[in-house]
Amino acid sequence: MPLLPATIVFDLDGTLVDTAPDLCAALNHALGALGRPPVPAGDVRHMVGHGARKLLERGLAASGAMTPDLVEAGVPHFLSHYAAHIADGSRPYPGVEAALDALAAAGSRVAICTNKPERLSRALVTALGWDGRFAANLGFDSVPQPKPHPDHLFATIAAAGGDRADTVFVGDSITDTTTARAAGIPVIAVSFGFSDRPVAELGADRIIDHYDALLPTLRQLVA
Q: Which residues are catalytic?
A: 11
The dihedral over CA atoms of 180, 184, 190, 196, expressed in degrees to the nearest 10, equals 40
In this structure, the chain runs to a length of 223
